[in-house]
Amino acid sequence: MNPFDPTGWSTTDLADPYPIYRRYREGDPVHLGAHGTWYLFGHDDITQVLSAPYYGRNPSAAGSTVIPPAHDRLRRMVENWLVFMDPPRHTKIRALLAKRFSPKMVAGLRPRIEQIAARLAKPLRDRPLVDLVDEFAAPFPILVISELLGVPDDRLGWFREQAVTLQEASSARSRRQPDAYARAERAANELTAYFLAEADSRTGTGEDLVTLLVTARTDGEALTREEIAATCVHLLTTGHETTTNLISKSMLALLAHPHLLGELRARPGLLPDAVDELIRFDGPVQMVTRWAYQDDVVHGRKIKRGDKVVLVLGSANRDPSRFDRPDELRLDRRAARHCGFGIGIHFCLGSPLAKAEAEIALRALLAAMPAFGLAGEPVVYADDLVFHGPARLPLTTGVH
Which residues in this chain contact ligand HEM in the complex, by CB under 6 A? Answer: 82-83, 94, 145, 235, 238-239, 242-243, 246, 279, 283-285, 288, 340-342, 346, 348-350, 353-354
Q: What minimum distance in Å lies between the beta carbon of 287 and ligand HEM?
A: 9
Q: What minimum distance in Å lies between the beta carbon of 144 and ligand HEM?
A: 8
| Backbone dihedral region for residue 247 (phi beyond 0: left; psi -120 to 50: alpha; all else: beta) | alpha
Sort strands 217-218 and 373-374 into parallel, antiparallel or unpaired: unpaired
Q: Give Dmax (Cα) for the chain.
A: 62
Burial class (CB in 10 A: 0-12, 13-18, 19+), 70: exposed
Q: Looking at beta carbons, which residue is closest to ligand HEM? A: 350
Q: For ligand HEM, give the closer residue by CB, 239 or 326.
A: 239
Burial class (CB in 10 A: 0-12, 13-18, 19+), 271: buried
CB-CB contact of 306 with 296 (8 Å): no
Q: What minimum distance in Å lies between the beta carbon of 124 and ligand HEM?
A: 21
Q: For ligand HEM, give the closer residue by CB, 278 or 395.
A: 278
> By C-alpha distance, which of 239, 76, 62, 46 is closest to 144?
239
Q: What minimum distance in Å lies between the beta carbon of 175 and ligand HEM?
A: 20
Q: For ligand HEM, give the closer residue by CB, 311 or 369.
A: 311
d(CA 249, CA 255): 10
Q: What minimum distance in Å lies between the beta carbon of 349 and ligand HEM?
A: 4
Q: For ligand HEM, give the closer residue by CB, 248 or 397.
A: 248
Q: What minimum distance in Å lies between the beta carbon of 126 and ligand HEM?
A: 29
Q: For ligand HEM, give the closer residue by CB, 62 or 397.
A: 62
Q: For ligand HEM, give the closer residue by CB, 240 or 397.
A: 240
Helix 225-256, helix 139-149: angle, nearest 10: 150
